[in-house]
Chain A
Amino acid sequence: MAVYRRTYTSYSGALTPAWSRWLVLFRYSRSSLFRSKLQTGLFVLCFFYPLFSLLTIYLAHNLSFLARLGAVGGQILTIDNKFFYYFVNVQGVLAFVLTAFTGPGLISPDIANGALPLYFCRPFSRAEYVLGKASVLAILLSQIMWIPGLVLFAVQGSLAGGDWTWDHLWIAGSLVLACWIWIAILSLLAMALSAWVKWRIVAGALLLAVLFFGAGFAQAVNAVMRTQLGHFVDIVYLMSTVWNGLFRIGDERAVSSTEAYAALLVFCGVCLALLVKKVRAYEVVR
């Protein structure tokens, strides 16, 4: 219908499937993501280490280069579980920094501008809203974590041969799982803070505080109370424990893998509860 018809008319055309509505929110939120040059620059920076890792894999299989180093046997450059463990660690830190820039702007502007009733007065649930917003972070962080990780594994597999790939297939599984756990934690934490703190910068600072002060607080608790229970409030320590287990790094930890999983699950539950409490059309004042 042409825009010159300035009367109200009802709509009787086709509708999109109900399950796909969260993709609308994802599309619009994603489109506003790269308006900031700083954010775009940071995103590009996140690909430097994967490129460096790719180069490392290439060099590890380049016999003439290894011969020049005197390490034809592969003693210097070894592509194994530790290689991918370090990759996840480095990309995990970058993912955290990227989340600190991106995450706070996801929900807080909607709450500050009173936009939530506009979403929820439509056939669009709160779960779909959270899913739409979380998918922005999840896909952004996937692009710098497990997707390049799997590319590296595939390149290594193609250069090292079928036997190596088959023997180390568990690394690919661990890589994906390790990245998804970290992405889930970062996404939920960033969204919970974004929902509760109106100011974007403060929310970003709080995200840093939760991780860094959490570690400091844990150390203080452990030192003062002469216990190891402080580690349960240290997200970085818990995550590191989970990653150690997944990549079979034999490191002595004060917290077992199972305990770390349980603690992270509780942490995610708390973030979800905070989101559910805040992401609603109108707050009920009792």
Chain B
Amino acid sequence: MSTTVQSGAAAERANQQTSAAPPPPVIALQGLSVRFGNREILKDLNCALRGRAIGLLGPNGAGKSTLINTLLGFYKPSSGSASVLGHDIRTETRKIRSLVGYMPENDAFISKMNAVSYVRMMAELSGLPPAAALERAHEALFCVGLAEARYRELGTYSLGMKQLAKLAQAVAHGPKLLILDEPTNGLDPSARQRMIRMIRDIRDSRELQIVLCSHLLRDVEDTCEEVLILNGGRIAHYSNLEEERKANKRFLELETYGANGDFTDAIEKLGCECATSANRLKMILADGIEIRDIYRIAAEKDVRIRRLNFRRDSLEDIFLKAMGS
């Protein structure tokens, strides 16, 4: 898939949406619990997620897939409720399913069928007329990079190709929400990169929203704006990565040579908060202070700056904190 450009109509729709009532959250959970026999898998989940790309993160067995399957109506909630794009999962399952494209975690294909027939059939089951479904199947397979192999039987595909075919069937009918359950499972590094790039491209088309479920931090960090961390069936943490990225632009880490108290004092006089350790200096830039001001003071105090980083909590930090708590 190459670069994408938001269409005029889509931009117009987006503008209309911002001027009118706010759109419903992509996923809203209100005390959602799911129980299988005596085991409570999801426990009283409450949140409203509105991001363009939402990551569901958690260790194996945290309840990520169960949450997705419940949202799709595969499992019935034992208590509480939830909605997807404003539609209740108990009463409007069919409507939700017509708006969603789902890429399951495990192998999911139909034997002795080539990729075009497979994607076309899935699009037809979503309601597209046969001719439109065929056209969209070809488009989707081109889109995910399976154009050359689209007439091959799915059984002969490699694992990476099967993942791409699953992605193609999930987007062929033009859903409003794309749910990806462990999309990079079993992929080698280059195939993983390709998959992540494709997910980002789809996200940036702004035609649909994405829920990505993974236990791989890098996948979520590379593609998502919002992260919901689950642990033991509960929400361990919610983080808006986009907001944090913006906020942390003011959080600097310097490695210096020849710095002394004068340098730190001078920076603090600018209104910045500082913390020193050995030859490292962490600071939060005050409003109106730019990096060039730091360099100017360093020059005045004869301090050499060896390294300057925008330091922020990585998703790994956030995840480990959430697991620790």
- Whether both chains belong to one complex is answered with yes
Interface residue B111 (Cβ < 8 Å from any Cβ of A): yes
Interface residue A3 (Cβ < 8 Å from any Cβ of B): yes
- The answer to whether B139 touches A281 (Cβ under 8 A) is no
The docked-state distance in angstroms from the alpha carbon of A5 to that of B1 is: 9
Interface size on B, residues (CB 8 A): 57
Task: Identify 30 residue pairs between A and B in the complex whose beta-carbon atoms are under 8 Å apart, listed by A's number.
Answer: A3-B142, A3-B147, A6-B2, A7-B2, A7-B143, A8-B143, A10-B174, A10-B175, A10-B176, A11-B136, A15-B127, A16-B124, A24-B125, A32-B113, A109-B112, A112-B111, A113-B108, A113-B111, A115-B109, A120-B72, A120-B74, A121-B74, A122-B125, A123-B94, A124-B97, A124-B126, A281-B74, A282-B69, A284-B36, A284-B75
Q: Mark A74-97, 1 if CB is under 8 A from B, else 0.
A: 000000000000000000000000
Interface residue B171 (Cβ < 8 Å from any Cβ of A): yes
The docked-state distance in angstroms from the alpha carbon of A280 to that of B75 is: 10
Q: In the assembled complex, which residues on chain A have CB atoms less than 8 Å from the CB atom of B112? A: 32, 35, 109
Q: Looking at the assembled complex, report how far the CB atom of B9 sits from the nearest CB atom of chain A, in whole angstroms.
A: 9
Name the CB-closest residue of A to B150: A3
Name the CB-closest residue of A to B139: A3
Q: In the assembled complex, which residues on chain B have CB atoms less than 8 Å from the CB atom of A114? A: 104, 106-109
15 A-B pairs besides A11-B136, A115-B109 with CB distance below 8 A are A6-B142, A7-B5, A8-B4, A12-B174, A16-B127, A16-B128, A28-B117, A113-B107, A113-B110, A114-B109, A115-B108, A117-B104, A281-B74, A282-B69, A282-B74
Given known contacts A10-B174, A113-B110, A121-B100, A281 and B72 CB-to-CB distance under 8 angstroms: yes
Q: Mark B113-126, 1 if CB is under 8 A from A, else 0.
A: 10001000110111
Looking at chain B's contact residues, the main secondary structure is: loop
Q: Looking at the assembled complex, report how far the CB atom of B64 sits from the nearest CB atom of chain A, in whole angstroms.
A: 14
Interface residue A4 (Cβ < 8 Å from any Cβ of B): yes
- The answer to whether B36 touches A286 (Cβ under 8 A) is yes
Name the CB-closest residue of A to B74: A281
Q: Looking at the assembled complex, report how far the CB atom of A243 sits from the nearest CB atom of chain B, in whole angstroms.
A: 37
- The answer to whether A117 touches B74 (Cβ under 8 A) is yes
Q: Looking at the assembled complex, report how far the CB atom of A189 sits from the nearest CB atom of chain B, in whole angstroms.
A: 23
Name the CB-closest residue of A to B144: A6
Given known contacts A3-B139, A123-B97, A281 and B207 CB-to-CB distance under 8 angstroms: no
- The answer to whether B108 touches A24 (Cβ under 8 A) is no
Interface residue A44 (Cβ < 8 Å from any Cβ of B): no
- The answer to whether B37 touches A286 (Cβ under 8 A) is yes
Q: Looking at the assembled complex, report how far the CB atom of A18 sits from the nearest CB atom of chain B, in whole angstroms.
A: 7
Q: Looking at the assembled complex, report how far the CB atom of A136 sits from the nearest CB atom of chain B, in whole angstroms.
A: 14
The 4 closest A-B pairs by CB, nearest first: A11-B174, A286-B37, A15-B127, A121-B102
